[in-house]
Structure 1
Amino acid sequence: MFDFRAVALEVLETEISALTQLDQYIDDSFSQACELMFANESGKVVVMGMGKSGHIGKKIAATLASTGTSAFFVHPGEAAHGDLGMIKPADIVLAISNSGESSEILSLFPVLKRLNIKIISMTGKPNSNMAKLADIHLQVSVPKEACPLALAPTSSTTATLVMGDALAVALMQARGFTAEDFALSHPGGALGRKLLLKLSDIMHSGELLPLVSPTTLIRDALLEISQKGLGMTAVIDEQQNLMGIFTDGDLRRILDKRVDIHSTEIGEVMTVNPTIAKPSMLAAEGLNLMQDKSINGLILCDGTKVVGALNMHDLLKAGVV
């Protein structure tokens, strides 16, 4: 039986070995490339690559863009047929090719030079045409490919990807890029929801808000709780100021005490001074507050007036938990 695991382990060993030698290329050229991209506030980084280098280039462009460096990918073949118009003089081109001899990219160099566009090349061959013609060259040479035929790009694409990550993270830290900045470019992701979503975005309000007066009988308050489906109700005065809260947990406790729900007013058994939050609070902060207080719901107040309510299920639906 063929030993698939042995081959896989050999691939890992080969690629890890290639990466351990990559640090020698984090040199002055790397610093110059970072400084050039960091100082370029009016333009973008345009990443190019053919074949497998193109796939890696797309990922590098995406990583740059999501970590504070404006970037996008342009296919060299399409650039030669009109997409070159997407590149402006203020932009910087990051051209990727392991051989450094990609004809599709090299054919664009004269036009890029004429537009005075700075070019950073990333190749495995320091004596290649792309390396010589670029303003800055980043070397990503590897001892050998993990492919036994030395044909499929494997170690070389991994090294290129890591070099791209190194550029992106170095620029990210130089810009003081924060988790909040990251969330702004990832509003649909879990981090974006945690850092951008506010309690006001998911709270129940208006007719969906469970509210009763302190003179409401417990049985009628239970009907309000059941209809609004939050497992609780706020108890308010005539000006909608919060007086207390009554929850499913409170119901269990008064039943244990054999309180008559048909004759007792909610104001006699409500919890006064409950934990509340402001609608402007981040949903993630609201979650932390509920966990700290071991509660399943929150009343939201603007000053002393009740404006909303939510429970743990709302946070689950919003993807905050």
Structure 2
Amino acid sequence: MILLATAVACAALTPLSAQEGEEATVDALQISESELPEPIFTALKSAERETIFNVGTETIDRPVIVADKIVFNRGAIAQISKFDWPRVIFFAEEILFANAEVGAQIMRPIDVQANKPDAPDQAAAYPKAGRDGRDGRDGVTGRSGATGRKGETISLPDIWIITNRIGAQGSSDPSSTKVNLRIWMPGIDGSEGGDGGRGGDGQAGGDGRDGKARLGICSRGPGGGGDGGRAGSGGRGGDGGNGSNGVNVNFVGPRSVIDVLQYTSISNWGGEGGSAGSPGAPGSKGKGGSRGSWPGTCDGPPAGSEGPAANPVDLGSGEPGDDGRKGAVVAYIQDDVGSLLSE
């Protein structure tokens, strides 16, 4: 997509690295105008345009705001809490601040947390063992528990601020003027990995065949019970969730707007990776099978023994999640952003 013919020949991609409390500086990097993403044009054209969009202390209820003027009240806080949006766009011919010195803030909720996933169900046990001849078969080792689920990662939507002018409300100065804009959207820490599933119980040993007697005399010898199977190992813990990247912030407008917005205080460090999930508990030892009945003079092998404990007890913990990256901050020089609605 080629931007306005009246725009500068190349848009300036400006990496800004403003951490909390720091002032950013601009190091211009030339890029093609075609690199303004196509979804931005689509989103702008599909949004309903308003005359004035006023921002107080509120949660933003839509992903795309298109207005003639966006006005931030004194000390306004625009909270973004819908993390399934790919981006949030603030588009206006003018973005004005009721008090440029006090300014406004765009932020995510401070207390948002990724959720640790539930552990998987216990591994299913095998049916009781059968017989081999007159004796019960020994049980087999229980199934290992399932691997825990990877921890949750909550990604942040990109922020786009697109305007021809930014400044103080009521000012007669037609040029853009410095305002106190803060964006606090660091990445969210990944959750702890889910616990591993419990190991399956050892298979129960098969029961021995009953003996038979005629007139008290044993006519068929009884069988012995099979030994129970070894308990299944607890499942491996899930990997920790990755920390999400800090918010990507994009400024689009004339150079005078970029000269103002480059001093935005931006907190967009990456979230920390979540800790590894714990392994699951082992299953129970398999029960020994019962011996067959001893009628009359019958005698035979004993009942089976309980199976041994799990070895290994579990399959270990997961791995910690990866830390998120610091978000990117870029600026596109565009002489007249109004043209983006008609391209």
TM-score, normalised via structure 2 length: 0.24
Structure (1/2) with the larger helix percentage: 1
Return the structure number with greater strand share.
2
Where relative contact order (Cα < 8 A, 6+ residues apart) is larger, the structure is 2
